Chain A
Amino acid sequence: MNEPEIYETLTRIFRDEFDDEALTISEATRAADIDGWDSNRHIQILAAVEAKFGVKIHAGEIEAMKSVGDMVRLIQKKHRP
């Protein structure tokens, strides 16, 4: 999966989760940047990422995911053969 495709699917996940069709995300987007992105929401987003991309995020990887960019890099890594 290439980067634009990952962003497209991630954007869909964020727009669905926050109920905002106008929401945009970028490499630097963090929890503080989106209203309502609390710890409960964060778990839902991670679960959605796992389901939509078919990846499994390990306990050790969760703390390292502080921004959308971190998520994208993790997804790319897990998709690489």
Chain B
Amino acid sequence: MGITGHLHWLPKLADADEALRALARIEDPRERLDRITALARHQLDFIQTGKLDRALEKTRAELLAALGLPQIKLAWLSSSTVDHQVPSTRVAGLRRGLSIQSYVAPFNQYRQALLDPDSPLARFAPQAVLFAIDPNELAPSVPLSASATDVEAAIEGRVSEVRSLWARARAQYSSLVIHQLAPDISPSPFGSYDRIVPGAPASVVAETNRRIARAAAEDRVLLLDLVSASARLGHDVWFDPVRWHHAKQLIAPQVTPLYGDLVARILAAARGLSKKCLILDLDNTLWGGVVGDDGLEGLVLGQGSAAGEAHLAFQRYALALKARGIVLAVCSKNNHDTAEGVFLRHPEMAIRRDDIAAFIANWDDKATNVRLIAAALNLGLDSMVFFDDNPAERAIIRRELPMVEVPEAPEDPSLYARCLAEAGYFEATAFTAEDRARAEQYRDNARREEGRRAAIAAHGDLDGYLASLEMEMIASGFDEVHVPRVAQLIGKTNQFNLTTRRYSEEDIRALARDPSAICLQVRLKDTFGDNGIISVVIARRHEGDEGGAHAAEGAYRIDTWLMSCRVLGRGVEAAVLNVLAQAARERGARALLGEYLPTPKNDLVREHYAKLGFEKIEGDHAGPGSSRWALALLRYEARPVHIQVRGAEEP
């Protein structure tokens, strides 16, 4: 494989070196950034990645805040040299839509950096902290002859210390904490027998990693798993003893592009940028052969043939993704009934028709169909992954819809699942009950849509339909059990989001404890099923004298108002306002102040407050298109809704 090919799911570039040199000739920094981003989405080795990063840093300086990418400040706390890992992490961030600003704490001084309230680390104020303590430093030093009990006790001590560092990082900076899990790379004294001797370094590191992983789950710390990652390409690719002895570099320079991508995908996931939907082609992707030509009997699927088993394994992987909350869609150039027939009638199919949330099979171009799928599912195009064995179809989607991820499908179907898995499009930072139920919710939603169309066709009456849904809303303060789901909504909701403020789980817990804040998590049920928590509102007591006359009367400022697009058009917003107004009144507020901060994705809610009867009090207060609104509570009457509101408001 050489030094390229580590990011095998990305397309290759014919003359990368020339393309990189050509960057310097692009005058306009915006145009240069677009070109740099496009290059970042291709396979580059570590030398090319370094060059691209230098062009990026120069361009960033020219564009400053106007980049428009979500930003994250990452602090590196390590016991080895990591400076050479920073450029490829930045480039990988760009690839995944994130601007990563890094601070590297002085070599092996992570404890001091954390404990000193006036350190450069403290002044950097990180939003994410990566602990990269190399495994042979983290694991305790024990004699080869140590007993299992001695080893356990020594490990316990080390793990406790690490946990207190995590707790400190999180408490001090309200930050995301990521712990790098790395394998033992010391030479083996026993061979295979190492794993039977508790004091052998391989055993001690393995046991330490096991304890760390368990502690991370308890302390809600994320793991950067280099044990699994390095197993794939091998230790010789990842770890070079010459680099270690010369410069205390744990990670070999050649593998830094892949390392950077592993870090960036975790940060992007934490910022809600992971993909949500997998769009699958059918012929030669989910099965071998072309159903329109070969008929049902001619398809290669299962039945003990190598290719057949490979396609089936890929179907099972798609189902595993669905089980963890990824939405599946189909986009195929086929007659609709012919394509659907395979799902309904082929005995070897693992994926059933109702596993697919959006099924499009026709003779239109795939770019149009991908847009239709996004609209039908109410998901952004930038949350889609498009998997197709046909390079021509892939090229069309890359050209027409550059925000859609299109992996380079390998020639051999045996490698399809691995390609998707290693590309890391769906990196997770949580696994909530909502994730588990997502497929059902999409199915329920499809039924609601059917019901709605039928009701309108029958009575011409949306009100009648809404009443027939028997909707029930439960609004309460943030409770511990739902903190991950609230964090997920806050991190991932981009369209129905008035101010797009991002908060960590720690921030959310702090808000829940603040008696002067109004925090609402809103759950919606109807006759078709339980939608789960679909809206989050945060309001704070208004300080300062912005807002003029309203401020003098005592007001609550709505800091955050977001809602899942799945429940648009049902009056949920009005019902939430009723709850919010009552909660504010109970705290003696006489007005509610709202704010709209425009982003490329939330034009949908530009007139949200107008529709709810707020008065616009200021325009463009925070840049063009922004607005502030006020609603006097004295004369506010609950708006009529077809929703029964249950449950007390916040405690």
The verdict on A47 contacting B246 (CB below 8 Å), with A16-B51, A19-B51 known, is no
A56 and B240 alpha carbons, distance in the complex (Å): 11
The verdict on A59 contacting B242 (CB below 8 Å), with A19-B51, A47-B46, A48-B47 known, is yes
Q: B51, B245, B247, B254: which contacts A39 (Cβ < 8 A)?
A: B247
B249 at the interface (CB under 8 A from A): yes
Q: A51, A56, A59: which contacts B246 (Cβ < 8 A)?
A: A59
Max chain A C-beta neighbours (<10 A), residue from B20, B54, B246: B246
The verdict on A47 contacting B253 (CB below 8 Å), with A39-B247, A40-B83, A58-B242 known, is yes
Least CB separation from B241: chain A residue: A59
Query: A16 → chain B, closest Cβ, in Å?
Result: 5
Least CB separation from A16: chain B residue: B51
Query: A22 → chain B, closest Cβ, in Å?
Result: 12
The verdict on A59 contacting B3 (CB below 8 Å), with A17-B50, A44-B50, A51-B254 known, is no
- Is the beta-carbon distance between B249 and A43 smaller than 8 angstroms? yes
Query: A40 → chain B, closest Cβ, in Å?
Result: 5
Q: Residues 46-68 of chain A: 1 if any B CB is under 8 Å from the residue's CB, otherwise 0?
A: 01100110001111001000000
Residues of B within 8 A of A19 (CB): 51, 54
Query: B202 → chain A, closest Cβ, in Å?
Result: 24
A35 and B3 alpha carbons, distance in the complex (Å): 28
A48 and B254 alpha carbons, distance in the complex (Å): 9
Residues of A within 8 A of B47 (CB): 13, 16-17, 47-48, 51-52
- Is the beta-carbon distance between B50 and A43 smaller than 8 angstroms? no
B243 at the interface (CB under 8 A from A): yes
B261 at the interface (CB under 8 A from A): no
Residues of B within 8 A of A62 (CB): 242, 246
Residues of B within 8 A of A47 (CB): 46-47, 243, 252-254
Q: Residues 33-45 of chain B: 1 if any A CB is under 8 Å from the residue's CB, otherwise 0?
A: 0000000000001
Residues of A within 8 A of B252 (CB): 47
Consensus secondary structure, chain A interface: helix
- Is the beta-carbon distance between A59 and B249 smaller than 8 angstroms? no
B566 at the interface (CB under 8 A from A): no
B84 at the interface (CB under 8 A from A): yes
Consensus secondary structure, chain B interface: helix
Number of interface residues of A (CB under 8 A): 18
The verdict on A43 contacting B84 (CB below 8 Å), with A51-B45, A51-B254, A62-B246 known, is yes
Least CB separation from B47: chain A residue: A48
Interface residues of A in 9-33 (CB under 8 A from B): 13, 16-17, 19, 21
Query: B46 → chain A, closest Cβ, in Å?
Result: 7
- Is the beta-carbon distance between B253 and A44 smaller than 8 angstroms? yes
Residues of B within 8 A of A48 (CB): 47
Residues of A within 8 A of B21 (CB): 21
Residues of A within 8 A of B51 (CB): 16, 19
A19 and B54 alpha carbons, distance in the complex (Å): 8
- Is the beta-carbon distance between B253 and A43 smaller than 8 angstroms? yes
Residues of A within 8 A of B249 (CB): 43
- Is the beta-carbon distance between B242 and A57 smaller than 8 angstroms? yes
A39 and B83 alpha carbons, distance in the complex (Å): 11
Interface residues of B in 1-53 (CB under 8 A from A): 3, 17, 20-21, 24, 45-47, 50-51
Residues of B within 8 A of A59 (CB): 241-242, 245-246
Residues of B within 8 A of A39 (CB): 247
Least CB separation from B246: chain A residue: A62
- Is the beta-carbon distance between A43 and B243 smaller than 8 angstroms? yes
A57 and B242 alpha carbons, distance in the complex (Å): 8
Residues of B within 8 A of A13 (CB): 47
Least CB separation from A12: chain B residue: B17
A44 and B243 alpha carbons, distance in the complex (Å): 10
A47 and B88 alpha carbons, distance in the complex (Å): 15
A56 and B242 alpha carbons, distance in the complex (Å): 10
18 contacts between A and B (CB under 8 A): A16-B20, A16-B50, A16-B51, A21-B21, A43-B243, A43-B246, A43-B247, A43-B249, A44-B253, A47-B253, A47-B254, A51-B45, A52-B47, A56-B242, A57-B242, A59-B242, A59-B245, A59-B246
User: A residues near B, CB below 8 A?
Assistant: 13, 16-17, 19, 21, 39-40, 43-44, 47-48, 51-52, 56-59, 62
Closest 4 CB pairs between A and B?
A: A47-B253, A48-B47, A59-B245, A43-B247
User: B residues near A, CB below 8 A?
Assistant: 3, 17, 20-21, 24, 45-47, 50-51, 54, 83-84, 241-243, 245-247, 249, 252-254
